[in-house]
Amino acid sequence: MVLLRFPDRFGLLYDERFHAGILFLNAIGEIVWPVLKQHNKTKSQHHEQDEPKKAPQERHANRLTRPDMAINTGPTEDNVLNDMAKLPSYLAMRVPLLDLSEQYRALGDSIREGTNDVLASGCFILGPKVKAFEKAMCAYCDTPHAIGVSSGTDALLAILMTLGIGHGDAVITTPYTFFATAGCIARLGARPLFADIDPETYNIRPSAIQECIDQNCQRDTDGTWKTRSGERVRAMIPVHLFGLCCEMDTLLEIAERYRLDVIEDAAQAIGAEFPFSKRIARAGTMGKIGLFSFYPSKNLGAAGDAGMVICGDEKLAANLRTFREHGMQPRYFHHVVGGNFRLDEIQAAILAVKLPYLEKWAAARRTAADFYGAEFGRAGLTQRISTPCEPYRNCGLTNHHVYHQYVIRAPMRDALREHL
C-alpha cells in the first residue's frame, strides 16, 4: 500500500507542504478533513484563524479531537479522491495488485527446463510430471494420496461427485467465499446451507453451523439429519479463507455428531497449519478429503488453471482418479459419468519447480504481514481499520497463517481502493 511505502513520512502524520497533518489517511481511518489542500497562507489562515500559532504536532493533535474536523461530517468519496489527486509525485504512485511475472524471472531457467522436457517427451496429459508432482504433494502435506486435477473448482466438483452428493442432498458451507464453493454444490442439484462467518477471522463460525442445523434441520428416523424441506444433510465445506485455517477441532466434533463428511476447501491455504491438542495438521488433511487451487495468483500458482485433491482413503482416491477421467476404468470402459478434470504435464512441471520454495515464500508473506501491522500501528490506525486476525500465532506453528491475501476492513473502502 502507498501508506506503507513511506513509513517515515506517514509516521510523522504531518507535511508542511499540506494543510492537514494526515495526508490521505482519512481514506482509511476517517480521521481528519480537509486533507491534501495545497499549502498557502490564505487556506492556512482559514483553518487556523481561531487558533494561536502552534507547533505542527500540537496542531495535528487538536484536529484529531475537533468534531467539526471529522471526516464523517460531510465529505464524500469524490471529495476524498479529488484531494488524493493532489498528492505530490513521490506519493502519487499506483500500487499494482500483484506481479505474477516475478517468480518466473527468478525461476525461469528451471521452469524452462521442466517444460522443455514435456515438449520433447510428447506426453502432455497425466504423464510422469503429474505423477512426480502428486508424489511431492503427498510428502509436503503428509498424506497418502494426491490427485492432480484441472482446477480448484474441478477438484471440489470431482469430490462431490465421488461422494455421490446431488439432488436431494444439502451441504453446509460459508457464504463468504469464492462462488465455486456454493456453485459446485448447486451444479449437482444439491442445496447449499449457509452458516455465517466469524467477523474477525472471516472463516465459518462453528456456533453458526450449530445454529444452521438447529434452525433448518431435524433428525430422521434412520439417524440422519434432513432439512425441513427434505434434503439430507451430507457434508460441510469449511473454507480456509485468505490463508488461515478454520477452527477445525470444533468443526470436526460437530461433523461427527451429525454424521457429516468434512470437505476442506484449502484453495487459498496450502501449507497453513492448525494446532490440535496433541498434533499439528496441515490444511486439507484434517477432514475426509481436501482440495487446493493452483490458480496463478495462489501461493503456489501454475501458469494457468490447476488443482489438487488430497485424502487418506485409498478407495476414495481410486474413485477420484476414475471420476477425473470421464469415469473411465479401465481405458474406454465407463461405469460412471465423470468429467474431464485432468492435470496437464506442463502445469505439473511448473508446479514441481515451485513447490520447494513454498515454505520460504510463506515466511516472506508473514514478514510482510508483520511489517504492515507494525506500520498501521505506528501510523495510529489500528483503532480505525481492522487488520488480519492471527488466532494461532502463539501456538508453536510454523505456518499459523500463510497470507494468501492481507485483507483489511476500512471505512470508505472504495475510495481507498481507487487511490491505491
> From CA 24, how far away is CA 164, in angstroms rounded?
53
Entry pTM: 0.79
Whether residue 19 has pLDDT greater than 70:
no
The fraction of the chain above a pLDDT of 70, given in percent, is 78
Residue type, 116: N
What does the pLDDT read at residue 272?
98
Buried b (16+ CB within 10 A) or exposed e, 27-36: bbbbbbbbbb
> From CA 88, how far away is CA 150, in angstroms rounded?
46
Q: Decide if domain 103-356 falls under CATH 3.30.70.60.
A: no
pLDDT digits (tens, 9 = 90+) for 39-50: 334 444 444 444
Domain ranges of the chain: 1-95+379-420, 103-356
- Quickly list H helices, 217-247: none
> From CA 76, how far away is CA 72, in angstroms rounded?
9
Which residue, 127, 159, 160, is CA-closest to 145?
Answer: 159
pLDDT digits (tens, 9 = 90+) for 150-187: 999 999 999 999 999 999 999 999 999 999 999 999 99
Whether residue 17 has pLDDT greater than 60:
no
> From CA 7, how far away is CA 376, in angstroms rounded?
9
Is residue 196 within 8 Å of 209, Cβ to Cβ? Answer: no
Average pLDDT over residues 32-45: 37
